[in-house]
Amino acid sequence: MEKTEKKPGKYNNARKQAAKMANATKVQKDGMVFHEYPDYETYKKVQTVGNKAKIGLQHVQESHIKALSTYLNDAYGKVGFGLCHGTRRGLEQTWFRDHLNGKPEVIGTEISDTATEFPHTVQWDFHDENPEWEGKADFVYSNSWDHSFDPRRAFRTWAGMLKPGGMLILDHCKGHEPKGANALDPFGATYDALRGFIDTELADLGSVVDEIDRSDDPDYKARVLVFKRAA
C-alpha cells in the first residue's frame, strides 16, 4: 500500500502561490466556505499550477478504496463503469479497477494537462457534462470536491452521470472542513453542511442513503457520504 507522503512544505508553497494568483474573494455561510475567483481562466490556471506542485503527493490510501470497493461489490455484485473526479496521479481509479468485481472500466478526470501522463485518466473539468458519461456510471467517487468553484454545478453534473440506482460517493476528511478551504481548495464544508447541501441541491435526482464511517481508520480517516440516484 502506498503511504501518504508527508511534505507539508510542498503543499504550503502551492497554497501560497495559489493565493497570489487567484485574488479570490472568501464567502462564508451555513457551515461552508467558498472562494470566488475573478474568472474561469484564473481558476483553471490556479488548479493546474497547484496540481503540478503537488503531483508527488497522495492523500487517499489504497485501503480506503478497497473498503469502498467492498461496499460497491456488496451493493451491485458486479460494477461495469465508474468515474473518479480530480485524481491527479490516477491511483484511485487504478485501485478501484483492482478491487471491484467484474473488471470494470473506471476512468479518472483531472483538469491539469498532466492527466495524460497517468493511466485511465482524461483531462477534463469535473464541472462539465460529458454526453459519453451521462446516465452510465454505477458510481462516481471523489475526495477532491473541495476543488470546486461551483459545488452545485459539480454535484449536479456528477449525479447526472449516474445510471438509475447509481451511487455518488464523497469522502469527508479533516481537510475538507471550512478552515481547510483556501484559494487552491476553494470549497470547504462541515460534514453536516455538505449533507444538507446535497440533500437540497440534488433532491430532484435522488437522496443521501448512507454514511460509511471510516473515521477511526489509521491510514485515512474519513466519513463517506453516499447519495443514490433515483431508479
Domain limits at 195? 8-229
Whether 118 maps to a domain, the answer reads: yes
**CATH number of the domain that residue 73 is part of:** 3.40.50.150
In a domain, 1, yes or no: no
Our count of domains for the chain comes to 1
Residue 185 lies in a domain: yes
Q: Residue 87 burial (CB < 10 Å; 0-12/13-18/19+)? A: buried
C-alpha span between 192 and 143 (Å, rounded): 16
Say how far apart CA 222 and CA 158 lie, in whole Å.
20
Dihedral sign, CA of 120, 124, 125, 126? Answer: negative
Please name which of 133, 141, 122, 129 lies closest in space to residue 84, comparing C-alpha atoms.
141
Surface-to-core class of residue 152, CB atoms within 10 Å of its CB (0-12 exposed, 13-18 middle, 19+ buried): middle
Whether residue 30 lies inside any domain: the answer is yes
* CB-based contact 164:214 (threshold 8 Å): no
**What pLDDT was estimated at residue 8?**
59
The x, y and z cell numbers of residue 186, run together, are 476553494
User: How high is the pLDDT of residue 124?
Assistant: 98
Is position 125 within any domain?
yes
Q: What's the pLDDT score for residue 23? A: 87
> What pLDDT, on a 0 to 100 scale, did the predictor assign at position 57?
81
Q: Is residue 186 part of a domain?
A: yes
10-residue block means of pLDDT along the chain (231 residues)? 50 76 91 96 94 87 97 96 95 97 96 95 98 98 97 98 98 96 95 98 98 96 98 89
Task: State the pairing for strand pair 206-214/105-110.
Answer: unpaired
Give the torsion sign (CA, 209, 231, 201, 91): positive
Residue 3 lies in a domain: no
- Residue 2 placed within a domain: no
